[in-house]
C-alpha cells in the first residue's frame, strides 16, 4: 500500500470528492483512512497530496511544505472572496501596466509578511469559520486573526489582455463547475451564492465591450499563503483592484535558495 498519492484536483471539486473519486478507481483503498495535506480552494485546481493509513498521523509534517502555483490575475475587477466565486465589483479604470511595473509590484511581496486571514476562509474564530462570519455579516463583531505568509519567488510569465466577450465565456465555464455542499455547517453558503455571483458578473458584461489585463505568475511560497489575497495586493500596488482568475498548484515540497541557486528537495509534482 502506498503511503501517499499525488492527485490532480479539478476546478469545482472539493478535496474529499477528489479522494473519493480516486478510491472508486482504486478499490483496494476504499476502506483505508485517508487525508489531504494542504487544502485547495473550491475554484483552485492542481496538486493534492493525499496520505493513507498510518501516514495520516504525520499530516502536520506535510502541512508545512512549500508550494508552487500558476496564478492568473485579472485587473480592474474585485470580488469579496478574491477570486471568481465572489460578488463582483468593477472599477472604471483601464489598467495596462508594463512588465517592469508588474515585476516591481511582485518584488514587494517577496519575503515574510504578517497578514489577516481572508474573510472567506476556513480559519475559525469563536468556533465559527470566517466564511460563515462573512455570510452572517458578523465580521465587525470579531477580531480577524493574522498569520505569516512567506513568498519565496514570483516569476512573471506574461502580461496580456482579454476582451470582455472572451472573459465572459471563460467565467461562465468556470462557474458551471461551482460545487454544492449539503453539510449543515455550511448551510448559508451551500450553493456558494452561485445565483448572486452570476448576477454580479452579469453587471460587468452588460456594459460596452472592453478589455482587461491578465497577469500570469508562477509563485513559490511557504505553507498557508493565499493566492487570492496575493492577487488583491498586486492589484492595489498597481493602483487598481484585482482578483485571481485561476489558481493551479503544480508542486509541493521543500524549496531552498542558496546564493543565486534555487531548487526543490522532496518535491511532489503532478504526474
Please state the rounded mean pLDDT for residues 202-231.
Answer: 95
| Range scoring the smallest mean pLDDT among 47-56, 173-182, 221-230, 232-241 | 173-182
Q: Which residues of 62-88 are buried (b: 16+ CB within 10 A; e: fewer)?
A: beebbbbbbbbbbbbbbbbbbbbbbeb
**Residue 61: all three cell numbers together:** 509534517
Domain boundary among 22, 48, 63: 63
Distance CA 262, CA 264 (A): 7
Q: Please give the tally of structural domains in the chain.
A: 2
Average model confidence (pLDDT) across the chain: 93
Looking at the fold, whether 154 and 126 belong to one and the same domain comes out as yes
Question: 197-213 pLDDT, tens per residue?
Answer: 999 999 999 888 999 99
Regarding pTM above 0.85, the answer is yes
Whether 187 shows a pLDDT value over 60: the answer reads no
**Structure confidence at residue 92 (pLDDT):** 85
Whether 182 shows a pLDDT value over 80: the answer reads no
Looking at the fold, whether 52 and 163 belong to one and the same domain comes out as no
In sequence order, the 6+-apart residues with CB closer than 8 A to the CB of 113 are 148, 149, 150, 151
Whether 186 shows a pLDDT value over 60: the answer reads no
**Residue 172: all three cell numbers together:** 461562465
Number of other CB atoms surrounding residue 51 within 10 Å = 21
Looking at the fold, whether 49 and 84 belong to one and the same domain comes out as no
Q: Can you state the angle between helices 227-237 and 99-107, rounded to 10 degrees?
A: 120
| Residues 77 and 243: beta-carbon distance below 8 Å | yes
Task: Tell me the CATH number at 172.
Answer: 3.30.70.3190
Whether 89 shows a pLDDT value over 80: the answer reads yes
Structure confidence at residue 183 as a pLDDT band (50, 70, 90): low
Looking at the fold, whether 58 and 91 belong to one and the same domain comes out as no
**Structure confidence at residue 231 (pLDDT):** 98
Looking at the fold, whether 59 and 86 belong to one and the same domain comes out as no
Domain span at residue 27? 4-63
Looking at the fold, whether 8 and 119 belong to one and the same domain comes out as no
Amino acid at each position: 500500500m502506498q503511503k501517499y498519492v499525488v492527485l490532480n484536483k479539478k476546478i469545482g471539486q472539493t478535496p474529499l470528492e477528489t479522494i473519493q473519486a480516486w478510491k472508486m478507481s482504486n478499490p483496494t483503498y476504499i476502506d483505508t483512512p485517508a487525508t489531504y495535506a494542504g487544502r485547495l480552494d473550491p475554484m483552485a485546481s492542481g496538486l493534492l497530496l493525499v496520505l493513507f493509513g498510518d501516514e495520516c498521523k504525520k499530516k502536520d509534517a506535510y502541512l508545512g511544505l512549500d508550494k508552487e502555483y500558476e496564478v492568473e490575475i485579472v485587473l480592474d475587477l474585485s470580488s469579496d472572496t478574491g477570486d471568481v466565486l465572489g460578488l463582483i465589483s468593477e472599477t472604471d479604470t483601464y489598467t495596462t501596466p508594463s512588465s517592469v511595473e508588474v515585476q516591481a509590484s511582485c518584488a514587494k511581496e517577496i519575503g515574510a509578511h504578517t497578514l489577516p486571514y481572508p474573510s472567506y476562509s476556513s480559519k475559525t474564530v469563536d468556533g465559527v469559520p470566517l466564511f460563515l462570519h462573512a455570510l452572517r455579516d458578523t465580521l465587525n463583531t470579531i477580531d480577524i486573526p493574522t498569520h505569516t505568509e512567506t513568498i519565496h519567488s514570483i516569476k512573471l510569465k506574461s502580461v496580456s489582455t482579454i476582451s470582455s466577450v472572451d472573459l465572459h465565456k471563460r467565467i461562465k465555464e468556470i462557474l458551471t463547475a461551482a460545487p454544492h455542499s449539503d453539510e449543515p455547517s455550511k448551510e448559508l453558503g451551500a450553493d456558494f451564492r452561485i445565483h448572486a455571483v452570476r448576477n454580479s458578473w452579469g453587471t460587468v458584461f452588460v456594459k460596452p465591450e472592453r478589455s482587461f489585463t491578465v497577469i500570469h505568475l508562477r509563485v513559490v511560497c511557504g505553507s498557508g499563503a493565499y493566492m487570492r489575497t496575493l492577487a488583491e495586493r498586486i492589484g492595489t500596488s498597481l493602483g487598481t483592484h484585482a482578483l485571481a482568475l485561476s489558481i493551479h498548484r503544480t508542486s509541493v515540497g521543500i524549496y531552498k535558495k542558496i546564493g543565486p541557486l534555487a531548487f526543490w528537495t522532496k518535491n511532489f509534482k503532478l504526474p
